[in-house]
Every structure is written in structure tokens, then in C-alpha cells.
Chains A and B, each alone.
Chain A
């Protein structure tokens, strides 16, 4: 019940926000939504599947690059580029899953990292397609039902709607019987296997599903910025998502949303003063892992329970 009220209040606040917030904040909030979808999709793997991926930026980058490339170089319309980019990225996630899921644990982490670094290097080197370090410029925002998304508030509501849909569907996924088996494979892979579940297949499906939502966040990313650069595929981008998940609390629904918000605020606030984001990100990693390993949401929940149980 309390949870429902919290989610409901958040929803009302978010819907009213563009009426009160200035353009800068509305734009910033849209970026947070994009980061939140990214972190939530990564959380499916890290939090619910127990599969620590360090290459999740691959899906964001590939979906963004694909749609921008189809739009700019082949002149496809948005109604074509979006589904093609989503489908192709999801297929790529399927192939990556075949490779990465040959291992679990740290082997999985290394494989996802290596795969995404290969894509990152290729985005830099394959100049004839990606324009290398210049990035692909000149992407436009789509106009669904004739509504231009160039207005900050319009884009805000568009990304809010997609974020709500994404979070709702991911919550359904986690709450379903399939989600329960997924958490079973995280906690007791062997027993799940003995019970007759196909552990590998459960993980692979989750991997692909998570990649799909990563791709959705990539599409929003390229619509927002109208630009895509290899940096979006970098290890830093994957690490930002991962630390968002962990800072908020992996394996909880709200955690990655809160964590992604914190990371985005830190990133924007700090980089408007000093250009030392990577160093700060590094310190955030060290501090969070050492002092707050289970993240904010479980941490606060624990404190709350202790406070309620006080004599």
C-alpha cells in the first residue's frame, strides 16, 4: 500500500513537472528517464539474474548508431529506422548472449566487457560508416501522430510515457513466474537445474530482453541528442549504468531508477564545474562498493525497518 502511494505520488509529480520546471530542468529530466531505462534494463541481468554485465552500453550505442545511420545515409523515415534498429540490436543481443553466457560470474563480466570494447573500437575505426571521432550528426526527432518532439516538454512527456511503459513491463517480467525462475537461477542455479529448469535458456531470454530495453534507451538517447559518438559505447557509459544499479540497489525495482538519477545529477552537476567526471566516477565506485555494497534502497529499507521496530 505504502509502495503504491509512493509510486502514485511520483507519477503525479512527474506529470506536473514541466509546468513548474524551467527548460533546462525539463531537458535534464528527459535525460534522467533515458538513463533510468538503461539502468533498469541492466538491473534485469545484474540484480535479478546475478549476471554482472560490463558491456550494456553496447545496446544503447548500436541502436543509436543504427537508427542514425539508416536515417542519415539511407534516408529511411523514423517509422522504419526505429523498428529496424530495435530488431537488429535485439538480434545482436541474442548473438552476444550466445557468447557471453558460455560463462557466468566474472567470466561473463569479462566477455561482456570484451565484446563491448570491440564495438567501441570499431565505432572509432570504421570511419566510412560511423564517421569515427566526429560521430554521426544531423539526426532528427520523430513526430509521432504529427506532434513534434522538438519542444522540450513534448519530448519530456514522450520519454516519460516510454519510461513508464518500460518500467511497468520490466516489473511484470520480474514479477511473473518466469521472473521467479530467473531469481531462482541467480540464487541456486544447480537446484533450479535439478528441478528441470533450463537455466541457460532462462538466462539467455533475460539477456535478450534486457538488451531490447537497452536498445529502447539508445533510441531515446539519439533522439534526445540528435547525435551519437563512440563515447556512448565506451566502458565509462556501461560503468555509469552499472554503478547506478548498484548505488540504488540491484534487484529492486526502484533502486536503479534512483541510482541512475543520482549518477546523472552528479555527472551534470560536477561536469558543469570541473571536467573530472571519470575521476569522480572512479571514487563513487570505490566508495559505494566499500561502504554501501547493497545500495540505497535496501539500505534505507533496513534503516526504516529498524526505526519501526524501535521499542
Chain B
């Protein structure tokens, strides 16, 4: 097993890391370009999406494909609460927005929290019937659910403004909100997973019948995981809406769930640190791939830019990933100080041995 660091040391290291990241973000916020700040915000939001999906799919083993639906709920609820009343009147052309939403305007934080809670509420309502199903059936049911939410959003003109969507959303999302919530998400979910409840959820994933036999109320724990994941999905949706400032039902098609799935699988399904890594790489990688969509030179060769090339490359990458590297970067393991410590000391020992 090797030497392990004491808990005190680990706590100190984690705190230092958070402070370091916080400092970097502070500097970036002051000096970086708008483009870089946009990417950083997207990265944080994608981390929230990926970690919340990992809790449901990777840790608890509930193969849910409906994450986009809860993101949509978060986005719409938060937006309807923060849009100025005058703007609502202007936007809702086909049918006026229902009471009391057309009178309310709330600040960002309460709107985000309410958005998360309502997404969680939907998760609760949806969980009970869905969790009776296993494996593939559950996947299809949750996929249908996500799609149903999108269709309702497309048709409920007096609530969501239907296909027209909502625009001129106040751009509240900044580095502090997005990364603040990202930290909160990671903290809550990581803390959950590192507790007896985390073991219970993993046990349910490994063998729900054995878990039952060991005294675990499988159903209530699955619901808990689903609701918690949906809450953060809703929060992420709220942050996202207030970043891109326009939303419409098309933004929440199955494609969105698929993107998050890529992030999670890339990082390792079942690992929180994997989800963070996967989300970060995906966010940055997607921007790099954008290069492919406008003309560029590679050595001597001129490549014409092709719109849509990004997604083609992405999907090919995912297929290759699954064929050759199913585990993803972290597999089911977590990045930990012990792991790092062991890695570093092994390297140092090797170096020391060579010098003898």
C-alpha cells in the first residue's frame, strides 16, 4: 500500500490548491481577454454538468440520458425569474407570460437556487416511476423524458415563449459565480461520495440485489442521488443561460446530454476528478477544434474550413475512446494526494537509485 499522508496534511494541501486556483482565477478575471474568460466560465459550467451526471451515472449506476432536461428546467426557471418585467413583455409576443412570473424579478443567487430546487423537484417526481426500470429501459425512459421536457418547452408559449425562446438574459454569470458554484458542486458531491452514503451508492451500482440484502434501501438512495444530480444540473443550466444570454428549446436537445456524456467518459465514468478533467479537456479541446472550421494552413497545405467538422472529429474521438480506452483517463479511481505522493516518491527513489 505504501506510505499515506496524514489527514491533516491532505486537508492543508487541498486548501492550498483551492486558494491557488482562486488566485489564478482572480488574476485571469482582471487581465485575460473576454474570449478566455468565456472559456473559463464554460469550463466551470461543464464541470458542474459533468460531476452531477457522474453522481447519477457513474457512482450510482443509474444510466440516465435525460440530463439535458434538468439543465433546461434550470435555465428556463432562473431566466424567468431574473428577466426584467419590461423585457418579459417585449419578448413574449405570441402569448403573455403567466402570473406571477410576469411580475417577478429576482437577483441571481435566489433565482439560481430556486432553479436548482425546481429541477430537483422534477427529478424527484420523475425518479419514482423511472427507477422501477433497469438498464436499457431506464436509459430510453430518461431520454424520452428529456425530450418531452424539450417538446413542452417548445409548445408552452405562455411559460417558455415556445420556439422563440428567451433572449436578452442579464449576463450575470462571471468567473466568481461559475467557479464558486463549481467548487460547491464538487465539494458536496465529493463529500457525499467519501462517506458511508457514497459506499452505499457504489454498492447499489455494483450489485443492487446484494445491496438490498445488506440493509440498504436501494430505491430511496437512488432517488436521493438522482435528485441531487438534478439539482446541480439545474444550477448549471441557470449559470449557462446567464452566460450565453439567449436560450431556446433547441439548445437542450439530446445533443447536450451527449456532450456531457463525452466529458464523463473521457475522464472516466465513476470518477469525480475524472469528470473534472474530462470537462476541462472537452471545453478547451472543442475550442481548439474550432480551428478546423475556418481556413487554416498546416505546413504547406491549405485546409479550407468546414463548418461542422468539429463535431465529426469529436464523434470519431468518442468512438475511438470507447474502442480502445473505455476506462477513460481516471477509470473509476480518484485523483488523490496519496496517489500523487506515491507517484512522486517513486520517481525520486528511482532517481536516487540511479545515482548510486
Q: Do A and B come from one complex?
A: no
Interface residues in chain A, defined as those with a beta carbon under 8 Å from any beta carbon in chain B: none
